[in-house]
Structure 1
């Protein structure tokens, strides 16, 4: 069962990175109704994959791996957890923007999107991807016994 949850955890993490990358790529295109729909799909995939990463990760911590006492006394794990929360908080801004654009498209209006807004969204998505990369570094350190607070 441990291997199954590790697999689910990894696949969800790969989907999360793919969804963030897709959003960033889509924001490099001319924004149209179709692009907005694809952004919303990528954002939904991101949300589902983030939920699965968290659920599988917590199940691994509490039931399938070394136990909560090990993980919660590991600086690399705590940094990984903090980065996951930070990336989640950063993701709120793009989600709200994509939703507001979708409402405009549904109402039959083409949303007017300023270059500054697109730049802010791209920067936010890059920060999310950087946060995920650092999170993976923390996971690697933790797996190699780095960060123990015991």
Structure 2
């Protein structure tokens, strides 16, 4: 079960990275009705994957791997959690923007998105991807026991 939980956890994290990368690539192109629909779909998958990462990660901390005691004494674990929360907070703006597009898309109308808005969305996604990369570094440090505080 430990390996299955790890696999699902890592797969969900990969899905987050892929969905954000896909959103960013679509935002680099001229927005069409179809690409706007895809962005909304990818953002929904991103949200579901983040939920899986959180739930499966919590189960791994409490029931699998090294046990909760180990993680509660790991500085990289706390850094990783802080980064996860930060990415979640940063992602609110793009998600709310994409959800606002739904009304016009359902009417078959392309959302009105300025170049400045597109740049802002892409910048936020770049930041999210960078922070997610730092989470990978934290996971490696955590797994190797680097930054362990305690006995």
Q: Distance in 2 between matches of 1:94 and 1:59?
A: 29
Instruction: Please identify, of 102-111 and 20-29, the stretch whose mean Cα deviation from structure 2 is larger.
Output: 102-111
2:50 maps to which residue? 50
5+ residue gaps, structure 2: none
Cα distance, 1:57 vs. partner? 0.6
Structure 1 runs, 4 residues or longer, greater than 4 Å off: none
5+ residue gaps, structure 1: none
Q: Distance in 1 between matches of 2:97 and 2:112?
A: 12
2:105 maps to which residue? 105
1:92 maps to which residue? 92
Cα distance, 1:107 vs. partner? 2.9
Deviations 1:61-93 (A, max 9, x none): 000111111101110000000001111111111
Q: Secondary structure at the match of 2:28?
A: coil
RMSD of equivalent CA atoms: 0.9
Q: Secondary structure at the match of 1:11?
A: helix
Q: Secondary structure at the match of 2:147?
A: coil
1:135 maps to which residue? 135
Q: Secondary structure at the match of 2:113?
A: coil
Q: Distance in 2 between matches of 1:135 and 1:112?
A: 34
Normalising to structure 1: TM-score of the pair?
0.96
Q: How many residues align?
A: 150
